Structure 1
Amino acid sequence: MSISNMLASFFRLHVVIRLLIIIMGVLFIFGSLAHLIEPEVFPTIFDGLWWAIVTTSTVGYGDLVPQSPLGKVLAVFLILAGAGFVTFYMAQLSKHVIEAQNAARDGQMTFNGKNHIIIVGWNTRTKNIIQHIQTKAKNISIVLIDGTVKNNPIHSNKVHFIKGDSTQDKTLRQANITFASTLLITADQNKNELQADMHSVLTLIAAKGIHPNIYAITEILTTDQINNAWRAGADEVMESNMFLSHVMTNSLLERGMADIVMLLLDQLHGDKFSFQTIDDKWIGKTFHVAAAHFLGEHKVLIGIKRSKECYVNPSISFVIEKDDSFILIEH
């Protein structure tokens, strides 16, 4: 490798690494000179290097001290040059640590983890979701993407913040979406319903374009955009407005129903509510037979999921088919 290539490679290194290499080189040169000038005081190059490190760090043990005038002149130059380099290095190191902390806080730092969850959009729902995840799965890393907040709204070492537009490849790659396990896209509360849904669908398209196999859950507000979300590759579509409409309607017709629904949802969060893919032995059997079986295992069978349809509390003669899933409540 030519000298010009070596210099080019050196200058491509991070400034802190370059400074460290320079300092070690300067210390080695002064240590070697001390050994050559006063071999009786510094019997080995290591002794000279030890003296140079102790001197530049301003520790000054005094176990090795140059005796000759030339050795003392060398010490003066070491103090002026070496100590200056070390001080400058520590200042640069502190600067880069602070810059890294600020970048992480302001959402400018790239996430390098794997098997993480990406959540798009900051709102009250997102806050509650993150709190529930951290309660149930403390080791899961979460990347929050939002372009409206100034810095990370969650103070946790398991929540990494990316500030930016979730429809842009740059932002998604900054969240390391290629190695993410799950993507949750929440509706943007700063837009009207149609604009929020269009933004969610665009985010979904961008995400699936980079990582086609990521499991994507998308919140959709308007009925007209549901099919677009499915076409864009959503694995689950959540119609939050439809859900709230059902709850409000039931409350109007049956007073107190909203409280019951919220209590049920609070009880069913986490691992109490689950899907179970059926074994072949259940094909052709009735819902009644399956429900009786699971009661013996202290589980309540409340319905059957078939493709994109759910049958809650079907008739006891409802026949189980291939590729169905059980909807269970576990104790």
Structure 2
Amino acid sequence: MTGKLIKLIFFRLPTVVKLLASVLIIMTIFGTMIHFAEPGRFPTIFDGIWWAFITAATVGYGDYVPLTTIGRLIAIALILTGGGVIAFYISSIAAATVQYEQNLMKGKIDFKGKGHYIFIGWNERTRQLIRLMAEKFPDTPIVVIDRTEKKILYEDYPVHFIHGDASDEHILLKANIKEAAKVLITANTSKAEKHADSFTILSILTIRGTNKDIPIVAEILSKTYVENALRAGASTIIRSNDFLSTLLFHELSHQVASTPFEDILEILKRKQFSHMPVTKELEHRSFLEASNLLMLQGYLLLGIIRENQYKIHPPADYILQKGDILLAFVSWQRKEI
């Protein structure tokens, strides 16, 4: 029974480990044989094992050399068997290294770090954000989850890629969602708005099921899905369509003296419009107090939504209540307090 268990454990080991074990066993056998065949030339078994490794690896220092016929026959057998095993072991290590790099590039390797940001969705917005993060927060690891991209080269983007569906708990665990710092979900603009937002909400629900406390920033395309995303557990909602509509309106109606198109684009690169629920910290505070607190975090509070009614820039003493939704500009370069 013990023998079968040992065999079972051995065959379940990685190929490289099994090859290393085979090399050690073969070198030990030949080292022991040469020691007993020529004890004068090889005083200890370790001397024999040393000679076996040097001979099989074709290094040939020449410090130990068999002189008898039996000793030379052992050397010939070692060269024909042990040399091939060592060569196969070295080539297997090289092949395993190449395979690991291929799997890493194709998003098949689990992420083992912690305190990282998870970006869901691979698009131009994500790529620009990765460049900003690399400039401002180079020490923050980034994990990208995407089901459409086939591979992402680390040389091009310093991220750990996980290929798969972010609404699948198994994929989130591969990204180590339980020890992540934040999650960003970008909308798939190649899909219909309804389908893109539905996937975003499903991803939020799955994330909340694995990590109930992690902040989730989600991009929603359709206004009708904002509250669903908040109920699903999103911490902050970004509505990029609001900016696009405002930008188009500005370009249709602006005068010559108005802010140039390029300046508006520069502003939009730094700011995003967000919806987020009132936190316990902000409940029962005045609009002015909430504005000051949020400003320290990089938010510019514009107004609130209460019972589906928009209240833009309410009075300073307007009291926030549980269930209110805050409307604010948010900068990606904000600092946490």
TM-score grouping bracket, smaller chain normalisation: 0.7 to 0.9
Residue type at the aligned position of 1:188? N
Q: Is the 8 A contact 2:287 2:314 kept in 1?
A: no
Secondary structure at 1:161 match in 2: strand
Q: CA deviation at 1:192?
A: 0.9
Q: CA deviation at 1:60?
A: 0.6
Alignment of 1:253-268 (within 5 A): 253-255=253-255, 256-257=258-259, 258-265=261-268
Quote the RMSD (CA, aligned, Å): 3.4
Alignment of 1:152-231 (within 5 A): 152=152, 155=155, 158-231=158-231
Alignment of 1:252-331 (within 5 A): 252-255=252-255, 256-257=258-259, 258-265=261-268, 318-319=316-317
Q: CA deviation at 1:173?
A: 1.8
Secondary structure at 2:184 match in 1: strand
1:235 match:
235
Q: How has the CA–CA distance of structure 1 residues 286 and 185 changed in structure 2, closer, same or farther, with 3 Å as cutoff?
A: closer
Q: CA deviation at 1:203?
A: 1.1
Q: Is the 8 A contact 2:118 2:144 kept in 1?
A: yes
2:275 match:
none
For 2:144 and 2:299, locate their aligned partners in 1 and report how far apart those are by CA, in whole Å.
34
Q: How has the CA–CA distance of structure 1 residues 188 and 116 changed in structure 2, closer, same or farther, with 3 Å as cutoff?
A: same
Secondary structure at 1:143 match in 2: strand
Q: CA deviation at 1:319?
A: 4.4
Residue type at the aligned position of 1:72? R
Q: CA deviation at 1:234?
A: 0.3
CA deviation profile, 1:53-96 (whole Å, cap 9, x unmatched): 10011111111101111111111111111101111112222221
1:126 match:
126
Q: How has the CA–CA distance of structure 1 residues 312 and 42 changed in structure 2, closer, same or farther, with 3 Å as cutoff?
A: farther
Q: Is the 8 A contact 1:56 1:83 kept in 2?
A: yes
1:25 match:
25
Q: How has the CA–CA distance of structure 1 residues 141 and 242 changed in structure 2, closer, same or farther, with 3 Å as cutoff?
A: same
Q: Which runs of 5+ in 2 are unaligned?
A: 273-278
1:138 match:
138
Residue type at the aligned position of 2:65? V
For 2:244 and 2:65, locate their aligned partners in 1 and report how far apart those are by CA, in whole Å.
81
Q: Which runs of 5+ in 1 are unaligned?
A: 270-276
Percent pairwise identity: 33
For 2:16 and 2:262, locate their aligned partners in 1 and report how far apart those are by CA, in whole Å.
59
Secondary structure at 1:29 match in 2: helix
Q: CA deviation at 1:285?
A: 12
CA deviation profile, 1:225-249 (whole Å, cap 9, x unmatched): 1111011100111111122223333
Residue type at the aligned position of 1:30? F
Secondary structure at 2:217 match in 1: strand
Q: How has the CA–CA distance of structure 1 residues 156 and 320 changed in structure 2, closer, same or farther, with 3 Å as cutoff?
A: farther
TM-score, scaled relative to structure 2: 0.80
For 1:43 and 1:167, locate their aligned partners in 2 and report how far apart those are by CA, in whole Å.
65
1:83 match:
83
For 1:304 and 1:198, locate their aligned partners in 2 and report how far apart those are by CA, in whole Å.
27
1:273 match:
none
2:101 match:
101
For 1:122 and 1:132, locate their aligned partners in 2 and report how far apart those are by CA, in whole Å.
15
Secondary structure at 1:237 match in 2: strand
For 1:285 and 1:232, locate their aligned partners in 2 and report how far apart those are by CA, in whole Å.
26
For 1:267 and 1:189, locate their aligned partners in 2 and report how far apart those are by CA, in whole Å.
21
CA deviation profile, 1:254-288 (whole Å, cap 9, x unmatched): 3444444333455679xxxxxxx9x9xxx88977x
Residue type at the aligned position of 2:234? A
Q: CA deviation at 1:313?
A: 7.7
For 1:194 and 1:322, locate their aligned partners in 2 and report how far apart those are by CA, in whole Å.
31
Secondary structure at 1:126 match in 2: helix
Q: Is the 8 A contact 2:105 2:154 kept in 1?
A: no
2:35 match:
35
Q: CA deviation at 1:4?
A: 1.5
